Amino acid sequence: MSDIKKNPKKTIPVFITARLGSTRLPGKHLLLIFEKPIIEHMIMRVKHAHLPKLFVLCTTSLPEDDIFEDIARRCNIKIFRGHPTDILQRWLDASDHFKTKSFISAEADDVFCDPEFIDLIYRELEKREFDYITCKGLPFGITPTGINVDALRTICALKEDDDTQGQERYFTKTGLFKVHYIDVDDPELMHPEVRMTLDYQEDFEFFKEIFHQFQEQKKFFSLREILHLLKEHPEIVKINEKMQESYKKRYDSIYGKVKLKTKF
């Protein structure tokens, strides 16, 4: 683990989870858009959030993920390295290292994870009313999640698996935690049918096309601007829309159940 400072201001950090060990799209976070790895575009995007002051790239301890050290340095964020497959344990170890009681998860796959909703979930976490917070109604891959570390510690003690991808199921399917869904009621943003996450080559082509559409504009473009573009150019949505069914089938077959050692 890198020699990094703790969290002196006790801010709620944003954990950006990434690794190179993808089987569907190997090395996906290093795919280039405008000669820059796509994960760097994602990191600089989430840094537009106003409330968090600490951003941490959470990757594995495997040598293949050493490259994320350079990426974190270039993006001027912290890095934490932990368990290769157990994302929940990696998050818990990072939370203990930074001495935080809650954090926001922004998956590196979710390239357009929106800073507006990072701030929204940050405010909800400050109330300390819920264990797991997310949004409903947004495009798939836009919303971050808010997680209470006490709840995370509980599930780490109870889970049987040490491969905890599909980690939301541990909070939403066990009946152990207070889960809060923020309903998005803005018609301009309510497009859950649009896929905005990076798992397949078609997803990369989708992201690449959107970046190219905005290349003449300001560096940051909002979710509203993206959705307006897609309304004007529905052919872009078609690039990866069929991949959602493949994703869901795979997710349900691998991560459809949660195994716990015991229950309260």
Which string of DSSP letters, residue by residue, matches 24-52? SSTTGGG-EETTEEHHHHHHHHHTT-SS-
pLDDT of amino acid 263: 53
Would you say 40 and 63 are in contact if contact means Cβ atoms under 8 Å apart?
A: no
pLDDT of amino acid 22: 77
Longest dimension (CA), the chain: 56
Cα–Cα distance between 98 and 54 in angstroms, integer?
A: 10
pLDDT of amino acid 6: 55
Tell me the domain boundaries of the chain. 14-255
pLDDT of amino acid 247: 87
Cα–Cα distance between 106 and 109 in angstroms, integer?
A: 9
Would you say 94 and 56 are in contact if contact means Cβ atoms under 8 Å apart?
A: yes
Cα–Cα distance between 36 and 95 in angstroms, integer?
A: 29
Identify the bridge partners of residue 82 per DSSP, sorted by sequence position.
60
The superfamily CATH assigns to domain 14-255 is Spore Coat Polysaccharide Biosynthesis Protein SpsA; Chain A (3.90.550.10)
pLDDT of amino acid 3: 36
Q: What is the pTM of this model?
A: 0.93
CB atoms within 10 A of CB 224: 13
pLDDT of amino acid 259: 86
Q: What is the pLDDT along the chain (264 residues), one digit of tens a residue?
A: 443 445 545 789 999 999 998 778 989 999 999 999 999 999 999 999 999 999 999 999 999 999 999 999 999 999 999 999 999 999 999 999 999 999 999 999 999 999 999 999 999 999 999 999 999 999 999 999 999 999 999 999 999 989 999 999 999 999 999 999 999 989 999 999 999 999 999 999 999 999 999 987 667 899 999 999 999 999 999 999 999 988 888 888 777 788 898 654
Phi-psi region of 92 (alpha: psi -120 to 50; beta: other; left: phi over 0): alpha
Identify the bridge partners of residue 135 per DSSP, sorted by sequence position.
182
> What single letter denotes the amino acid at residue 251?
Y
> What single letter denotes the amino acid at residue 69?
E
pLDDT of amino acid 233: 96
